């Protein structure tokens, strides 16, 4: 595929070939509903063992030069076992694979049910939950799709390819490249070191401007699913309420049928129909509505209805029936100059920042970890998190919907520090990523705000046009949710703040600034809030604060990196939050929920240790401070179920 690439060119140029091709393609066509089984849809998970090979050739392009996709991977060279979903980096003992930059190749042979192949009226779709960063996908040697961006799903209808030779197994080959450039999100660049007195031949490094390990691979489930030829392609739901009546505005789009009949039914938790329609779009009215409430704000948080869409269509050959069920939470979100309102009630974010990160799996989706983390969030009394610094798996957002955990949904715009990353190529890609993110997450009641970036160089002159365009675009995509980006810039120089709805600010007083001086926190934090509010009169969230603590390291009086120091930093911040939350501060999100892996460097001791839990999810002293605070905030501001009033062992 990379005919433009000559062998001597680096991995990054190999990646850029894919790029150029993608730019020619219309970015978004149709919906991308989460694959769900129904009476008309089947699903086949391809999680488990795949064959794998990293292309260690000097230009990382041997796989394309020798067309590894044309035959079984094991026939063109050695393969190793690789789990999917998972990052590949921590699976072996090989440092070259942990730190690998370039193309890796995954392959799996799948038995496709005979009926899927035989029935021409069935669409067979291959879906990749996410692959970091660029991917090219072949089925039986035929290229079926490619995708740019490491955190969002993509898919391809592979029916015609598997029907070409119904007797052969279906061989899926996915090449994934983790090279970051100035125009990727997040950005990065490749630096070649040519001084032979210092570096071996061909030595290059990937420079990144963000603080987490650039894990790579097939991070989320890969699966096959079916729909009938005429199918429900997309559903958009926007909710509101008036007194006791819930309003569900919906629009259904259909593909593969010139005319179709629809039945749209809203079911309550007991699967009783509460409203229905036969129009492709409209408003469903729900009397005595059960609103979707955040965790700890109501006795029964996370109430979900189900919107069941039934499609009937026919062509000259057959009739088709498709059924798709979408969970729907009815709630509103509004922002005033001092408040963040959910269902017209002030909502205070007492939550965390997270990462998709764990031992061995890296950024691979892992159900035991997901459920453990939700249990820990509840144990803490957290009502929210930010998906720092990229979109998390849809499975995680579904858990948030169910449990009432409120989400600030962040795109991977982290580390936009180089002025060249503000150019049109970057902005255009950023707009497409926002298109993909909003398309994927628009129907989650838990998602209450979009964050378009984290700590960009927002004081640089081009930042104004960049963020004005990006935020306007995001608001046009979704006029129902506020938009922000996360700043660490100075209030007087920040170029994008006039365009955001909520100011989200990160600061690390007594850590990166005045290290060791806990006594500065109160005055500096107070000044921070007064300055931002004074200039913009918008509600403020402290979107990051914290300190590293190596678990088990103690000192009294507290010293940096001990559990005591982390604890006292938090307490000093909390004192100021308690004054300002009565005015215009609407939230506090600790950095970070758990320790996480980073690139190696002199400020990181096997990763970032600002977690209140260790990477293995054991609490540090700070977790107990946070727990006490979050539950008492909830007692003060929410309506707790009786079981939650005084959680055990506070």
Q: Which residue is nearest to ligand GCB (CB)?
A: 211
Instruction: Report the relative pairing of strands 245-255 and 231-242 from DSSP bridges.
Output: antiparallel
Contact between 613 and ligand GCB (CB under 6 A)? no
Neighbours of 166 (CB within 10 A): 12
Q: Which of residues 144-203 bind ligand GCB (CB under 6 A)?
A: none
Which residue matches tokens 């960049």?
466
Q: Which of residues 436-465 bind ligand GCB (CB under 6 A)?
A: 454-455
Contact between 591 and ligand GCB (CB under 6 A)? yes
* C-alpha to C-alpha distance for 285 and 295, rounded to whole angstroms: 25
**x/- site string to ligand GCB, residues 105 to 124, per CB under 6 A?**
--------------------
Q: Which two tokens stand for residue 180?
A: 């970051």
Q: Which two tokens stand for residue 185?
A: 């999100």
Q: Which of residues 376-405 bind ligand GCB (CB under 6 A)?
A: 389
Which residue matches tokens 């694979």?
97
The nearer residue to ligand GCB, 130 or 506, going by C-beta atoms, is: 506
The nearer residue to ligand GCB, 508 or 529, going by C-beta atoms, is: 508
The nearer residue to ligand GCB, 394 or 455, going by C-beta atoms, is: 455
User: CB of 563: closest distance to ligand GCB in angstroms?
Assistant: 16
* C-alpha to C-alpha distance for 589 and 577, rounded to whole angstroms: 11
User: CB of 211: closest distance to ligand GCB in angstroms?
Assistant: 4
* C-alpha to C-alpha distance for 489 and 497, rounded to whole angstroms: 10
* C-alpha to C-alpha distance for 367 and 377, rounded to whole angstroms: 15
Contact between 293 and ligand GCB (CB under 6 A)? no
The nearer residue to ligand GCB, 356 or 544, going by C-beta atoms, is: 544
Contact between 211 and ligand GCB (CB under 6 A)? yes
Q: Which of residues 536-575 bind ligand GCB (CB under 6 A)?
A: 544
Cβ contact 547:590 at 8 Å: no
**x/- site string to ligand GCB, residues 472 to 511, per CB under 6 A?**
----------------x-----------------x-----
Choosing from 107, 155, 394, 455, the catalytic residue is 455
Residues in the chain: 650
Round the CA-based radius of gyration of the chain to a whole number and report it. 25
b or e along 465-502 (b: 16 or more beta carbons within 10 Å of the residue's beta carbon)?
ebbebbbebbbebbeebbbbbbbbbebeebbbbebbbb
Q: Which two tokens stand for residue 63?
A: 């796989």
- The full 3-state SS of 155-222, as one line of letters, equals EEECHHHHHHCCCCCEEEEEEEECCCCCCCCCCEEEEECCCCCCCCCCCEEEEECCCCCCCCEECCCE
Contact between 610 and ligand GCB (CB under 6 A)? yes
Contact between 588 and ligand GCB (CB under 6 A)? no
The nearer residue to ligand GCB, 301 or 415, going by C-beta atoms, is: 415
Cβ contact 93:360 at 8 Å: no
Q: Is there a catalytic annotation at residue 455?
A: yes
The nearer residue to ligand GCB, 66 or 417, going by C-beta atoms, is: 417
User: CB of 338: closest distance to ligand GCB in angstroms?
Assistant: 25
The footprint of ligand GCB (CB under 6 A) covers: 211, 389, 454-455, 488, 506, 544, 591, 608, 610
By annotation, the residues acting in catalysis are 455
């Amino acid at each position: 595929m990379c005919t433009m690439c000559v062998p001597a060119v680096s991995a990054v140029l190999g990646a850029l070939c894919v790029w150029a091709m993608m730019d020619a393609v219309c970015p978004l066509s149709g919906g991308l509903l989460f694959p769900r089984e129904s009476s008309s849809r089947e699903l086949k998970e391809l999680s488990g063992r795949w064959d794998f090979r990293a292309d260690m050739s000097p230009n990382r392009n041997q796989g394309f030069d020798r067309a590894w996709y044309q035959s079984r991977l094991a026939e063109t060279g050695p393969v190793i076992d690789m789990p999917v979903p998972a990052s590949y980096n921590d699976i072996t003992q090989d440092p070259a694979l942990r730190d690998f930059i370039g193309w890796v190749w995954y392959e799996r042979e799948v038995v496709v049910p005979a009926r899927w192949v035989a029935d021409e009226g069935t669409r067979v779709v291959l879906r990749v939950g996410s692959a970091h960063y660029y991917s090219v996908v072949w089925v039986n040697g035929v290229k079926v799709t490619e995708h740019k961006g490491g955190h969002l799903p993509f898919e391809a209808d592979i029916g015609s390819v598997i029907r070409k030779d119904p007797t052969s197994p279906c061989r899926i080959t996915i090449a994934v490249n983790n090279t970051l450039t100035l125009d990727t999100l997040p950005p990065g660049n490749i630096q070649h070191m040519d001084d032979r007195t210092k570096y071996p031949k061909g030595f290059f490094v990937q420079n990144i401007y963000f603080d987490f390990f650039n894990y790579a691979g097939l991070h989320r489930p890969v699966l096959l699913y079916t729909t009938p030829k005429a199918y429900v392609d997309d559903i958009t739901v926007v909710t509101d309420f008036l007194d006791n009546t819930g309003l569900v505005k919906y629009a259904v789009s259909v593909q593969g049928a010139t005319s179709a009949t629809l039945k749209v039914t809203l079911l309550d938790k007991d699967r009783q129909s509460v409203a229905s329609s036969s129009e492709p779009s409209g408003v469903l009215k729900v009397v005595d509505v059960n609103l979707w409430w955040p965790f700890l704000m109501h006795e029964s948080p996370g109430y979900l209805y189900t919107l069941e869409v039934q499609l009937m269509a026919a062509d000259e050959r057959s009739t088709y029936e498709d059924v798709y069920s979408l969970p729907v939470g009815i709630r509103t979100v509004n922002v005033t100059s001092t408040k963040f309102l959910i269902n017209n009630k002030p909502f205070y974010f007492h939550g965390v920042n997270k990462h998709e990160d764990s031992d061995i799996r890296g950024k691979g989706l892992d159900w035991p970890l997901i459920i453990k983390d939700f249990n820990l969030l509840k144990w803490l009394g957290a009502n929210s998190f930010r998906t720092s610094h990229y979109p998390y798996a849809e499975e995680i957002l579904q858990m948030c919907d169910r449990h009432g955990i409120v989400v600030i949904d962040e795109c991977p715009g982290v580390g936009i520090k180089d002025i060249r990353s503000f150019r049109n190529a970057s902005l255009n890609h950023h707009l497409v990523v926002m298109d993909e993110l909003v398309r994927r997450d628009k129907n989650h009641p838990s998602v209450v705000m979009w964050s378009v970036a984290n700590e960009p160089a927002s004081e640089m002159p081009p930042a104004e046009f960049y963020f004005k365009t990006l935020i306007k675009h995001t608001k046009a995509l979704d006029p129902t949710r506020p938009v922000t980006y996360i700043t660490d810039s100075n209030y007087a120089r920040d170029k994008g703040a006039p365009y955001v709805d909520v100011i989200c600010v990160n600061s690390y007083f007594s850590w990166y600034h005045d290290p060791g001086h806990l006594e500065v926190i109160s005055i500096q934090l107070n000044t921070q809030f007064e300055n931002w509010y004074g200039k913009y009169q918008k509600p403020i969230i402290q979107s990051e604060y914290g300190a590293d603590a190596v678990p088990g390291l103690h000192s009294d009086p507290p010293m940096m990196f001990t559990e005591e120091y982390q604890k006292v930093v938090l307490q000093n911040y909390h004192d100021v939050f308690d004054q300002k939350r009565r005015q215009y501060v609407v939230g506090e999100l600790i950095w970070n929920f758990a320790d996480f892996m980073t690139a190696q460097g002199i400020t990181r001791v096997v990763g970032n240790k600002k977690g209140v839990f260790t990477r293995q999810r054991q609490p540090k002293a700070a977790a107990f401070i946070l727990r006490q605070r979050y539950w008492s905030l909830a007692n003060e501001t929410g309506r707790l179920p009786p079981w939650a009033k005084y959680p055990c062992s506070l």
